[in-house]
Amino acid sequence: MEKKITVAIAGNPNSGKTSIFNMLTGARQHVGNYPGVTVEKKEGFGKYKGYKITFVDLPGTYSLTAYSIEELVARNFIIDTRPDVVVDIVDASNIERNLYLATQLIEMNAPLVLAFNMSDIAEQRGLTFDIEQLSELLGTAIVRTVGNKAKGKEQLLEAIIKTAEQGRERRGPKINYGTEIEEELARIEQIVKEGEKELTGKYPARWVAVKLLEQDSEITSKIKDKFIIETVGTSIKHLKNIFRDEPEIVIADRRYGFISGACQETIKSTVELRHSTSDLVDSIVINRILGLPIFLLLMFLTFVLTFKLGKYPMEALELFFNRLSITVAGFFQQGSQSWLKSLLVDGVISGVGGVVVFLPNILLLFLAIAFLEDTGYMARAAFVMDRLMHKIGLHGKSFIPMLIGFGCSLPAIMATRIIENRRNRLTTILVLPLFSCGARLTIYALFIPAFFAEKWQGPMLWLIYLIGIALAFISAKILRLTIFRGETIPFVMELPPYRVPTMKSLAIHMWQRGWLFLRKAGTIILAISIILWAAMSFPKPAEKPLEDVNSERAQQLRLESSIIGRVGKAIEPALRPLGFDWKIGTALIGATAAKEVFVSQLSIIYAVGDSEKSRHTLREKLQANYTPLTAFCVMLFCLISTPCIATVVITRQETASWLWALFQFAALTAMAYIITFVVYQLGSLFF
Amino acid sequence: MEFSQRPLSGVKAGEKVTLVYIDAGHGLRGRLTAMGLVPGTILTVIKNDRPGPFVINVKNTKVMLGRGMAQKIIVSDTAVQND
């Protein structure tokens, strides 16, 4: 019979954790979120010697404190899920700092295996390890690996199985914190054992004692016994007096002491360490003069790749969905009024198809992002943009999704995964729809030539985009001062050495994002398309139109009597102060499905049909019905308001909460209403 | 021997200094500690462009710090090292 085990993969950011995870699991991975938090959870599966192994990729962390969600998630996973083995990926060329996390895992009494990754680079740098002795000193198995070359897989799996078979009752070495701290620890450990039986059933008592001295907020909040709290308080005061510093810092210092003690005997360095190539590249890409142009050029290339190169497969997909709807329509009798046909063709195929056509863009974009990340450039981009982004309370990395947002909000929101900090990430997601996406361009392209003289057309478009950017920056600043206020996670970031990415890792990265996107298109977006279709098709007009059922007049009548048309009319009084009539209202509701729908809805309402030629006639009709001020207000409203349904769904997926998605929807719509109201009312005084 | 203490933000690129203490709350100190910035650690300043972030080398890793943070890290001159 197969035995099942769970293996958690821990490690510092940039330790090559992902490459080891990919090496162990191949492409059989599942991406999701840890329950209730915006932290990505990757799981993969493997088999070895009769064991069925589930690998869980923990968030990359430097430590296991309660200061950041990522660290808490990693720590709680180890404690609550009790994986059979924890593999800590250690960057072999940077042992001392990487082992800091290992000391904490040892203290948690986790069944640990250390993978000394990138050991080839370490050896090139003249580092030699006495693995056997170090393994003895740390009380864990150590395996040399080279993740991006898939070296050491067998040995690592072997060590994992062996550790899993040994079970939990193994003990790593005890890190000695020195007489003064040890005395306090012994006292606290004793009373915790007596007073908090429930807690020590789950956590090792010594670990709880260490955490209490470190003033770990999560563990401290779990202590119910007043006496323990008081004793810990006295101990901390006592230790502060002795060391003239927080016990937390002294404890960290002793951990590093333990590490350097263990390394002294076992690691020899024959050559002085240098990062020469990385330093050379850095002197160019983060140069104060060259840095920004280089970043902008790379971003430009990313865009060209995403949208220009993506155009061809996108057109092919569009063609495919067109053919598909013709084929499906062919199953029904000519001129059939079957609702099933309409559901399949106008609802399902055009709804889901309209979103799936973006798949090539998503794949290409994530290929480019994976490349920039895997090479190590992304950290430099954050460095270059930090000065600007700092002013609005975000940090450099937020700039990348914002740029992508000009293309389409969907990949942009997914790209916020590169931002580790939750508050920054949520702020970025919430303001992203304000970066005017490509679909909204169709609306501007309809209105601007109809209402503005040729020399003003360019500046007008530019103005619309600028308003979006300005509103996004202002909103981000406001969000950071209000709901996302509080501890700003300090901006510290590692600049990893440059590396050549592997094709495999790029491909896995790209495929994961693409799959996530397709899954949503097949489920929620499908459901919403059907609902919107129904709202646009029912109820049917009462009297049967005499003309041909497919005539423009008939389409117009159908839309007028549909739920959307009725709602459009019902909300007309509310839209009046913005200068909008029910026709614009109806088109706006349709635009929530996708922004392009706005134009096709207006075409139906004005009964001009939906083709390039008719766009011209539509412009004439619009000119006859609206003023330039109204036109400007329509564009303004479309720019700010109501992210499309796909955006709402992706926001829900990425924030793991409907609350944020609905908040974004409501807040943007309210903002659009207020701003357009003010502009229209003030504008009416002058024009 | 007496060393003058000053914030890291005032250290020029290329200089090597020793960390004395971090004048900040628990969260920040915890984070920096985990990245290897503990008292006694030797830091090399790689980049210090004003304004804008700061790059240092600590335990063989390049780390970028916000300027505000560099002001909270107090360092002293390093005794002559032979590494």
Domains annotated for chain A, with CATH where assigned, are: 3-166 (3.40.50.300), 179-269 (1.10.287.1770), 291-339+355-439+453-486+502-511 (no CATH), 520-686 (no CATH)
pLDDT tier for residue A608 given thresholds of 50, 70 and 90: low
Tokens of A135: 């393994």
Average pLDDT of the residues of chain A: 84
A62, B64: Cβ pair inside 8 Å? Answer: no
pLDDT at residue A628 in the model:
92
Instruction: Please state the rounded mean pLDDT for residues B50-59.
Output: 82
pLDDT score for A389: 82
Instruction: Quote the CA–CA distance of A144 and A118 in Å, as a whole number.
Output: 8
- pLDDT at position A55 is 95
Which of the two residues, A212 and A529, has the higher pLDDT score?
A212
- Do the chains contact at A62 and B31, CB–CB below 8 Å? yes
Q: How confident is the model at residue B82 (pLDDT cuts 50, 70, 90)?
A: very low
Q: How confident is the model at residue A542 (pLDDT cuts 50, 70, 90)?
A: low
Closest Cα of chain A to B58: distance in Å?
9
Among partner residues B38, B63, B69, which is closest to A495 by beta-carbon distance? B63
Closest approach of A571 to chain B, Cα-based (Å): 49
In the block, residue with structure tokens 């993978």? A115
Residue of A nearest to B50 (CA): A288
CA distance A351 to A355: 7
Which residues in chain B have Cβ-Cβ distances shorter than 8 Å to A249?
29, 33, 38-39
Å between B17 CA and nearest CA of chain A: 18
Residues of A in contact with B40 (CB under 8 A): 253
Shortest CA gap A207–chain B (Å): 17
Show residues of chain A in contact with B64, CB under 8 Å: 379, 382-383, 386, 491-495
What's the pLDDT tens digit per position in A250-269? 999 999 999 988 888 888 87
pLDDT at B83: 43
pLDDT at A438 over 60: yes
Among candidate residues A360, A483, A417, A442, the one with its CA nearest the CA of residue A650: A417
Beta carbons of B60 and A273 less than 8 Å apart: yes
**What's the whole-model pTM score?**
0.78
Contacts of B62 in chain A (CB under 8 A): 275, 278, 282, 494-497
Taking the CA atoms of chain A, what radius of gyration do you get in angstroms? 30
Q: What residues in B contact A274, CB-CB < 8 Å?
A: none
Q: Binning pLDDT at 50, 70 and 90, where does residue A370 land?
A: confident
| The pLDDT value given to residue A95 | 87
Residue A454 pLDDT greater than 90, yes or no: no
Contact residues, chain B, for A105 at CB < 8 Å: none
Q: Measured between beta carbons, which residues in chain B are less than 8 angstroms from residue A278?
A: 62
Q: Confirm if B44 and B60 have CB atoms less than 8 A apart.
A: no
3-state secondary structure of B3: coil
Contact between A249 and B26 using a beta-carbon 8 Å cutoff? no
Question: In B, what residues contact A, Cβ < 8 A?
Answer: 21, 24-36, 38-40, 46-47, 49, 51-53, 55, 58-66, 69, 83
Residue A70 pLDDT > 70:
yes
A94 neighbors B60 (Cβ within 8 angstroms)? yes
| Cα gap A415→A372, rounded to integer Å | 12
Average pLDDT on A301-312 reads 79
- pLDDT score at A590: 79
In this prediction, residue A398 carries a pLDDT of 85
Instruction: Please give the single-letter amino acid code of residue A299.
Output: M
Share of residues in chain A with pLDDT > 90 (%): 29
Q: Where is mean pLDDT largest: A210-214, A284-288, A295-299?
A: A210-214
User: What is the dihedral angle through the alpha carbons of A544, A548, A550, A553, rounded to the nearest 10 degrees?
Assistant: -70
A357-384 mean pLDDT: 85
Q: Render A558-577 in DSSP notation, one character per residue.
A: HHHHSHHHHHHHHTHHHHGG
Q: Which of A15, A63, A67 to mutate to test the interface with B (most CBs of B within 10 A)?
A: A67
B55: closest CA of chain A, how far (Å): 9
Mean pLDDT comparison of A22-36, A170-184, A478-492, A517-531, highest-scoring range: A170-184
CB contact under 8 A, B38 and A256: yes
- Does the distance separating the beta carbons of B32 and A489 come in below 8 Å? no
Residue A547 identity (one-letter amino acid): E
- Name the DSSP letter for residue A432: G
pLDDT surpassing 50 at residue A401: yes
Q: Which of B38, B53, B69 sits opposite A249 (nearest CB)?
A: B38
Peptide bond into A628 cis (omega under 30): no
Q: Is the pLDDT of residue A651 over 50?
A: yes
Q: Where are the alpha helices (DSSP H) in A350-421?
A: 350-356, 359-375, 377-390, 399-405, 409-415
Whether residue A209 is predicted with pLDDT greater than 80 in this model: the reply is yes
Specify the higher pLDDT residue, A400 or B40. B40
Do A100 and B29 make contact, defined as CB atoms within 8 angstroms? no
Full strand arrangement of the beta sheet holding B42-48: A492-495, B61-65, B54-58, B42-48, B16-22, B73-77, B5-7
Q: Which residue of chain A comes nearest to B65, CA vs CA?
A: A492
**Burial annotation A150-165 (CB, 10 A radius, 16+ → b, else e):** ebbbeebbbbbbebbe
Provide the residue count of chain A: 687
Highest mean pLDDT among A27-41, A426-440, A592-606: A426-440
Q: Which among B31, B40, B47 has the least Cβ separation from residue A492?
A: B31
A134, containing H or E segment: helix A131-138
Give B44→chain A minimum CA distance, Å: 13
Closest of A51, A137, A47 to residue A95, by C-alpha: A137
Beta carbons of B59 and A93 less than 8 Å apart: no
Task: Find the mean pLDDT for residues B40-54.
Answer: 84
Q: List chain B residues with CB under 8 Å of A96.
A: 36, 59
> Which residue among A61, A272, A386 sits closest to B53, beta carbon to beta carbon?
A386
Ranges A391-400, A489-498, B15-24, most confident: B15-24
- Bigger pLDDT: A548 vs A196: A196
Percent of chain B with pLDDT over 90: 14
Mean predicted confidence (pLDDT) in A290-319: 84
- Of A272-281, A533-542, A637-646, least confident by mean pLDDT is A272-281
**Is B29 in Cβ contact with A248 (below 8 Å)?**
yes
- What percent of chain A has pLDDT above 70? 92
pLDDT of residue A360 exceeding 60, the answer is yes
Contacts of A272 in chain B (CB under 8 A): 83
- For residues A133, A135, A141, A142, the Cα torsion angle rounded to the nearest 10 degrees is -90
Cβ neighbours of B70 in A, within 8 Å: none
Do the chains contact at A490 and B31, CB–CB below 8 Å?
yes
The per-residue pLDDT for B18 is 93
Distance CA A232, CA A185 (A): 9
Q: Determine the number of helices (DSSP H) and then strands (DSSP E) in chain B.
A: 2, 6
Give chain A positions within 8 Å (CB) of B47: 286
A429-457 mean pLDDT: 85
When CB atoms are compared, the residue of A62, A245, A253 closest to B35 is: A62
Taking an 8 Å cut-off on Cβ atoms, the answer to whether A249 and B83 are in contact is no
Cis-peptide, bond into residue A411, ω within 30° of zero: no
SS3 A186: helix
Nearest to B38 among A252, A383, A390 (CB): A252
Contact A286, A251 (CB under 8 A): no
Q: Is the pLDDT of residue A56 over 90?
A: yes
Q: Name the nearest CA neighbour of A286 among A495, A96, A124, A481.
A: A495
**Per-residue model confidence (pLDDT) at position A212:** 93
Q: Do residues A535 and A562 touch, judged by C-beta distance below 8 A?
A: yes
- pLDDT for A121 equals 82
Q: Residue B80 is encoded by which pair of tokens?
A: 């002559």
The reported pLDDT for the residue numbered A274 is: 56
In b/e form, how buried is each residue of A285-312, taking b as 16+ CB within 10 angstroms? bbeeeebeebbeebbeebbebbbeebee
When pLDDT is averaged across residues A356-368 and rounded to a whole number, the result is: 82
Distance from CA of B64 to the nearest CA of A (A): 5
**What pLDDT score was predicted for residue A615?**
60
Contact between chains at B31 and A67 (C-beta distance less than 8 A) = yes
Instruction: Provide mean pLDDT across the span A646-674.
Output: 90
In DSSP terms, A10 is beta-bridged to: A88
More confident residue, A393 or A133: A133
Residue A359 pLDDT grade (very low, low, confident, very high; cuts 50, 70, 90):
confident
When the pLDDT of each residue in chain B is averaged and rounded to a whole number, the result is: 83
Rounded CA separation B58/A522 (Å): 48
Q: What's the whole-number mean pLDDT along residues A632-645?
A: 89
Domains of chain B and any CATH numbers: 5-77 (2.30.30.90)
- The answer to whether A411 and A370 have CB atoms below 8 angstroms apart is no
**How much is the pLDDT for A596?**
72
**Cβ contacts of residue A43 below 8 Å, gap of 6+?**
A29, A30, A32, A54, A55, A56, A57
Amino acid at A620: E
Tell if the CB–CB gap between B66 and A275 is shorter than 8 Å: no
**Mean pLDDT to the nearest integer, A446-465:** 85
Test the A interface: residue of B18, B32, B38, B55 with most A CBs within 10 Å: B38
* Contact between residue A632 and residue A461 where contact means Cβ atoms under 8 Å apart: no
The CB density around residue A566, as the number of other CB atoms within 10 Å, is 15
Contact between chains at B61 and A489 (C-beta distance less than 8 A):
no
Contact by Cβ (8 Å): A239, A184: yes
Q: Is the ipTM, as predicted for this complex, more than 0.90? A: no
pLDDT of B1 over the 60 cut: no
| Chain A residues with CB within 8 Å of chain B CB | 61-63, 65, 67-68, 93-94, 96-97, 100-101, 215, 245-246, 248-249, 252-253, 256, 272-273, 275, 278-279, 282, 286, 288, 379, 382-383, 386-387, 390, 395, 487, 489-497
Q: Are B77 and B3 in contact (CB under 8 A)?
A: yes
How large is the average pLDDT for residues A182-202? 89
CA-closest candidate to residue B11, choices B66, B61, B76: B76
> ∠ CA B57-B58-B62 to the nearest 5 degrees?
45
